Amino acid sequence: MSDWNTRTKLVHGGTRRSQYNEVSEAIFLTQGFVYDSAEQAEARFIETGPDEFIYARYGNPTVAMFEERIAALEGAEDAFATASGMAAVNGALTSMLKAGDHVVSAKALFGSCLYILEEILTRFGVEVTFVDGTDLDEWRAAVRDDTKAVFFESMSNPTLEVIDVAEVAKIAHAVGAKVIVDNVFSTPVFSRAIEQGADAVVYSATKHIDGQGRCLGGVILGTQEFIRKTVEPYMKHTGGSMSPFNAWVLLKGLETIDLRVRAQAASALAIAEALEGDDALERVIYPGLKRHAQNALVQTQLGGKGGTVLSLDLKGGQKAAFKFLNALQIAVISNNLGDAKSIATHPATTTHQRLPDDQKVELGITQGLVRFSVGLEDTDDLIADIRQAVAASQA
C-alpha cells in the first residue's frame, strides 16, 4: 500500500474484510469480542495483535480501518480515533503534559481549544504562554528549556492566518518540545504537516472528513511510539474513543474527501476572486489569494491551496453581517464547516461570543466578519447568492 497514490489509499487503505468478504466495509457495532478459551482471553490482555480486539474503548475493527486510512493520507505512522475533535485536542495535549510543564500556544484558536489551554491545563498546573502564531520572533522568545509542547492551528479560525509549521517546529525542537498541530482548516488533503516537522497532527473529523454534517469524530496522528505509548493509554482509560458507527461514516467520508475538498477549495478561490474589491466589503480573507499576507507560505506549505473557508468583513458591522446572513438563499446559517452544504457563521456572536471585546479586537474578529464555509453547490450559484446578500447587507 505504501507506494499507492493518495486517491487509491483513500479508497482501499486499511480495509479489513470479515469471513463474508464484503465489498463495502462492515460496521462492527459491538462493544466486546468473544475469546475461544480462557487462555486466549488471558493472552490477549497481555498483548493484542493487529486483528485482535478486547473492548471498543480500546479498539474496534471499524475504528481501526478508519485509523489506518487517515494515517495513510496524512503520512503518519499511526493514529488514534476519538469521539470528537475536542477529545483529540485534549487527548494530544493532556496525555503528554503534567503539572509544572510549560506550553507555548498561538492565541488565534477555535473557542474550545482556547478553553483547554486557558482554563483546563492551567488548572492542573501547566503554564501556558500565548503568542502571535505568525510572528516567529514571538515563538523564539516564548520557548524555554522546560517547554514540553507547542500548539497551534496551522490555519486559524476565523481569520485564516497561516502558521509556518516547518519554522515553528525548528524553534520547538531546539528546546526539545513536541509540536502539536490542529490542522482542520488546512485539511488532510492539502496538509503535509508531519513531513514538515509536526510531531502530532489533530483533526476534527466532524469537518471535511465526514463532509456531510452527520457525525462527530476526531483523530490524533503521530509516531507509533507517541500514539501507542502516550496517547492510547490516556484515551482508552479516560473514555474518549470513537464510536464504531461514526468510524464507519468517517471511513466512507475518506473515500471521497480528496474530490470534495479540491472542488470546495477551487470554488472558494473563485468566490474570493469574484468578491475582492467589492465596495461593501472591508476585507475578503482567503489564504489562496495572492494578496493574503501569508500567501507565499500557502504556496510552500499547502501546495498553493487556500482551503475551503473564506471570511468576509462587511462594512456596517453586526447589522450588515446579520442582514447578509438573513439574505442568503443557498448557504445555511450554522457553525459547522467542511460540509457539502455551504455554511455561513457570525463568529462574534456565536463561536467566539465568549471572548471579551478586547480579545475579539486583538484576534481580528470584528462585528462585520462572516465566516463562509464553501460547500459542493455550483460555484456560479454561490457567487450569485453571496453577491445578492452582500447588496442586501448595505440596504
Ligand X SMILES: *Cc1c(COP(=O)(O)O)cnc(C)c1O
Interacting residue ranges for ligand X, rule: CB under 6 A: 84-86, 89, 110, 112-113, 153, 157, 182, 184, 204, 206-207, 216, 218
Contacts 24+ apart (CB under 8 A), 118-122: 120/90, 120/94, 121/93, 121/94, 121/97
CA–CA separation, 183 and 175 (whole Å): 23
- Closer Cβ to ligand X, 280 or 365, answer by number: 365
- Closer Cβ to ligand X, 241 or 379, answer by number: 241
Beta bridge partners of 152: 181
For 311, list phi and psi in degrees, rounded to 5. Answer: -125, 140
CA–CA separation, 308 and 375 (whole Å): 8
- Closer Cβ to ligand X, 160 or 386, answer by number: 160
Through-space distance between the first and last CA atoms of the chain, rounded to whole angstroms: 57
Least CB distance to ligand X at residue 301 (A): 16
Q: Which residues contact 268 (CB under 8 A, 6 or more apart)?
A: 286, 288, 306, 307, 308, 309, 310, 374
- Closer Cβ to ligand X, 171 or 202, answer by number: 202
Least CB distance to ligand X at residue 288 (A): 18
What cell does 272 get? Answer: 474570493
Least CB distance to ligand X at residue 82 (A): 9
Least CB distance to ligand X at residue 336 (A): 8
Q: Are 119 and 95 in contact (CB under 8 A)?
A: no
Least CB distance to ligand X at residue 178 (A): 18
- Closer Cβ to ligand X, 183 or 379, answer by number: 183
- Closer Cβ to ligand X, 28 or 110, answer by number: 110
Q: What is the DSSP string of 11-61?
A: HHTT----TT--SSPP----SB---SSHHHHHHHHH---TT--SBTTT--H
CA–CA separation, 382 and 104 (whole Å): 39
Q: Which residue bears the cell 461570543?
A: 353
- Closer Cβ to ligand X, 111 or 317, answer by number: 111
The kind and range of the H/E element at 220 are strand 218-222
Nearest position to ligand X, beta carbon = 85
CA–CA separation, 116 and 202 (whole Å): 14
- Closer Cβ to ligand X, 16 or 341, answer by number: 341
Beta bridge partners of 309: 373
Least CB distance to ligand X at residue 44 (A): 31
Least CB distance to ligand X at residue 86 (A): 4
What cell does 117 get? Answer: 489551554
